[in-house]
Amino acid sequence: MARQYSTTLRNAWLDAYETTIGTTPKLRMMTGSIPATCATGQTGTQLIEMTLPSDFQAAPSGGSAAKAGTWSGTVSSDGTAGYYRILSSGGTCHEQGSITRAFSLSTNGTTAAGNNVLNFADTSGVSDGMSASGTGVPSGAAVFSHTSTTVTLTLPSTAGVGSAAEIYFGDTSGDLWLQNAALNAGQTVTIDTRTQTAPGA
């Protein structure tokens, strides 16, 4: 069994995370591969720098904490985002991770067991061949075809998919997901959701 920690300790870890980074930190996205460590100099072309809110993380609960406030900025150069860094307002890197193209959509209808058609209010961003995952979606499934409101998977669901289920499309291996990692100068990028989870659950 992996080592476990109390919820109180995990919440304290998340509080220390925000306190250590400090107020109004910066979120940068760059092209290329992640440097070896946070202490290693930044590489690649910097595509965007967001100044995050002074209080950028919600109060921890249950060992997790969501982002707080608006995380948004304007792209300064064309390029494909490969990694990100979160830095203190003074420029010290405290976190870095990979960026991949992925996003989630909520179903707006049920899919019976043995069926492979998922229903959505809008399938914007979905393209044929994308990987698909989520509760009820079989491992290895991908998008076979889609319309403006449906997605047909390459594999049928053995258990079925419920309504309001979160289905993930694209490469979910990244530490931060963008609906499209190819960014253009002048484009506005907004991080809609982010949840930081402390280790030891």
pLDDT in tens, 124-178: 999 999 999 999 999 999 999 999 999 999 999 999 999 999 999 999 999 999 9
Residue 116 has pLDDT above 80, yes or no: yes
Q: Which helix (H) or strand (E) holds 20?
A: helix 7-21
- Please name the amino acid found at residue 2: A
- Please name the amino acid found at residue 105: L
Residue-level pLDDT at 75: 98
Round the average pLDDT of the chain to a whole number and report it: 97
Q: What is the mean pLDDT of residues 181-199?
A: 96
For residue 111 the two structure tokens come to 């899919």
Q: Which helix (H) or strand (E) holds 169?
A: strand 166-170
Residue-level pLDDT at 2: 87
- Please name the amino acid found at residue 58: A
| Cβ-contact 143, 153 below 8 angstroms | yes
Residue-level pLDDT at 188: 98
Residue-level pLDDT at 44: 98
Which of 144, 119, 120, 146 minimizes the C-alpha distance to 131? 144
The string over 135-144, giving b where at least 16 C-beta atoms fall within 10 Å of a residue's C-beta and e elsewhere, is ebbeeebebe
- 169-181 pLDDT, tens per residue? 999 999 999 999 9
Residue 1 has pLDDT above 90, yes or no: no
Q: What is the mean pLDDT of residues 40-46?
A: 98
For residue 27 the two structure tokens come to 């979120």
Q: What is the mean pLDDT of residues 107-128?
A: 97
Q: What is the mean pLDDT of residues 12-38?
A: 98
